[in-house]
Structure 1
Amino acid sequence: MRRLDETIREARFASEAPVSSLLSPVTPHGTAVSLAERDCLFDHCAVLLFPTTLEAGLHELERAGLAPLPAVPSTVVRGRLSARHGLDPVRCEVHITRLRLDLPDGRRHPAVEVFLFPRDSHAFDARIEESEAAHGFENHTAFVVRRPTGPLLRRLVTAWHTEAGLLWEGGGHNPREGGPDGSTVLYFVRDAARPAHRRRFELHCSGDLRAVTAALPRQDDAVRRAYAAWPAVTRTTA
């Protein structure tokens, strides 16, 4: 539970910390930070865990008094794990749940996202757990964009890249969340040349913005280099 405890502390810290300390500690001023402070709200921090079974993992969360929300399959993380470790996605069983926290900013909010890859999954291998636990590839900090528009997302992606060293690595649309038009999520990883404690970020937007994301510039080679150079997780309190 140590990594989960760390993620809970991260979420409590992030809910009231200045955006500059989360997003771009090297460049604490400028468009990247000002746009995030004006237009984004902290949503959650995430961690990937490896319980013996899905049921055992949820029971452990409940026994700790964390009241997990109902777990659902996570197609995004299943796909990422499958690509990273050469797995058959059909055999890679990953679920997602959320934990509600009383945050320092006064909100009671599902501020921790927990991915559960049980050891009884057909695709599980101890070497996968060792690598993922050591590097924290699925750890991220997520924001909700208050009033997403195409021009705003393009400005955010550009500023986050040039000022905060964040590379847009893709995104997706979920028709089952966020209202009648679903929701759109954008994923970012920090450039290997701009190291910092928080390495991955997400932007969550209500609505179907696939037409916008399809036109955004990709830095696929830089994204691959970022993950290839990803060091083991450094334990800190923030």
Structure 2
Amino acid sequence: MEEAFRAADLRRLDAVIRDARFAATASASELVAPAPHGTGAALTERECVFDHCAVLLFPTTLAAGLRDLRARGLDPLPTVPSTVVRARLAERHGLDPAACEVHITRLRLDLPDGRRHPAVEVFLFPRDSTAFEDRIAVHEAAYGFENHTAFVMPRPSGPLLRRLVTAWHTEAGLLWEGGGHNPHEGGRDGSTVTYFVREPRRPGRRRFELHCAGDLRGAIADLPRPTEAVRHAYATWPTTTGTPT
């Protein structure tokens, strides 16, 4: 029987699991790496809690990939479609978004602090998808564009989110890519998610997500969106060899 995942995918899966275990015990400011004594470091340390690390994998089929993850004792949660990653893949590779079958699952890990937490987010783009091509898997594996580290804000507010987005930009070189509001997550008022990519000249993890309960879009709607800088960050993206996610 054909293996659900290729060897390169299994190596990247092992790497993201190791990274999630490390991130769960590291300080939030260590992961974001702002200026050590600035506002960003203090806000990050006080207001952000690690949630997950993420990776994109390419199983033979969705069902086979989930069976393989269960067989490895990784306890995948039920999948949901990924509209964001589907759109990003379609834009990068010139695909029809409707033909990109991308699903999300979370893997629950026993973390060093004693929690059993869904600390790994896996995007699954099955190789039997209409839009799949080997070149896509090779390119994505080499660059890891969907790798990221995610935090939640346990005590979210609009002013706090605005301060953090601004401080991450000025002190950690994190460019606000955008985001949105999901009314189906985070409780009665849904949740707000913001995405960040690091400027090429700055060392450290390349991408981050920040999740806040409620609809806080209005607090940052007037902040400048550095579209050209974000485009440049992806155009000069390093390969993933030896770099954290």
TM-score by length of 2: 0.93
Structure 2 residue matching 1:160: 3-state secondary structure: helix
**Identical pairs, percent:** 73
Q: Structure 1 residue 212 and structure 2 residue 231: aligned?
A: no
Asked if the contact 1:186/1:202 (under 8 Å) is kept, the reply is yes
Structure 1 residue 81: Cα displacement: 0.8
Which of 202, 205, 227 in structure 2 is aligned with 1:194? Answer: 202
- Runs of 5+ unmatched residues, structure 2: 1-9
Q: How does 1:161-180 map to 2 (within 5 A)?
A: 161-180=169-188
Structure 1 residue matching 2:194: 3-state secondary structure: strand
Asked if the contact 1:61/1:67 (under 8 Å) is kept, the reply is yes
Deviations for 1:151-189, whole angstroms, at most 9, x for unmatched residues?
Answer: 111110111001101000000111111101111100000
The one-letter code matched in structure 2 to 1:87 is L
Task: Provide the residue aligned with 1:143 in structure 2.
Answer: 151
CA 1:228–1:236: 2 relative to 1, 3 Å: closer
Task: Provide the residue aligned with 1:100 in structure 2.
Answer: 108
Q: Structure 1 residue 48 and structure 2 residue 56: aligned?
A: yes
Deviations for 1:114-167, whole angstroms, at most 9, x for unmatched residues?
Answer: 000001111111111111000000000000011111111111011100110100
CA 1:237–1:156: 2 relative to 1, 3 Å: closer
The one-letter code matched in structure 2 to 1:16 is T
Which of 96, 119, 139 in structure 2 is aligned with 1:88? Answer: 96
Structure 1 residue 208: Cα displacement: 1.2
Structure 1 residue 29: Cα displacement: 2.9
- Equivalent-residue separation in structure 1 for 2:177 and 2:73 (angstroms): 35
- Equivalent-residue separation in structure 1 for 2:244 and 2:198 (angstroms): 20
Asked if the contact 1:52/1:118 (under 8 Å) is kept, the reply is yes
Structure 1 residue 211: Cα displacement: 1.8
Asked if the contact 1:9/1:237 (under 8 Å) is kept, the reply is no
Q: Structure 1 residue 4 and structure 2 residue 17: aligned?
A: no
Asked if the contact 1:92/1:121 (under 8 Å) is kept, the reply is yes
- Runs of 5+ unmatched residues, structure 1: none
Structure 1 residue 74: Cα displacement: 0.6
TM-score by length of 1: 0.95
Structure 1 residue 222: Cα displacement: 0.3
Which of 122, 129, 138 in structure 2 is aligned with 1:114? Answer: 122
Asked if the contact 1:74/1:94 (under 8 Å) is kept, the reply is yes
- Equivalent-residue separation in structure 1 for 2:187 and 2:113 (angstroms): 25
Structure 1 residue 236: Cα displacement: 5.8
The one-letter code matched in structure 2 to 1:117 is F
**Over aligned residues, Cα RMSD in angstroms?**
1.4
Q: Structure 1 residue 130 and structure 2 residue 138: aligned?
A: yes
Structure 2 residue matching 1:78: 3-state secondary structure: helix
Q: Structure 1 residue 230 and structure 2 residue 237: aligned?
A: yes
Deviations for 1:51-90, whole angstroms, at most 9, x for unmatched residues?
Answer: 0110111111011010100011011111111111111110
Task: Provide the residue aligned with 1:13 in structure 2.
Answer: 22
Which of 210, 230, 237 in structure 2 is aligned with 1:203? Answer: 210
- Equivalent-residue separation in structure 2 for 1:175 and 1:19 (angstroms): 27
- Equivalent-residue separation in structure 2 for 1:79 and 1:215 (angstroms): 24
Asked if the contact 1:69/1:98 (under 8 Å) is kept, the reply is yes
Q: How many residues align?
A: 236
Deviations for 1:5-58, whole angstroms, at most 9, x for unmatched residues?
Answer: 100111110011122321117x33321111011011000000000001101111
The one-letter code matched in structure 1 to 2:193 is V
The one-letter code matched in structure 2 to 1:207 is G
The one-letter code matched in structure 2 to 1:23 is V
- Equivalent-residue separation in structure 1 for 2:121 and 2:23 (angstroms): 14
The one-letter code matched in structure 2 to 1:158 is T
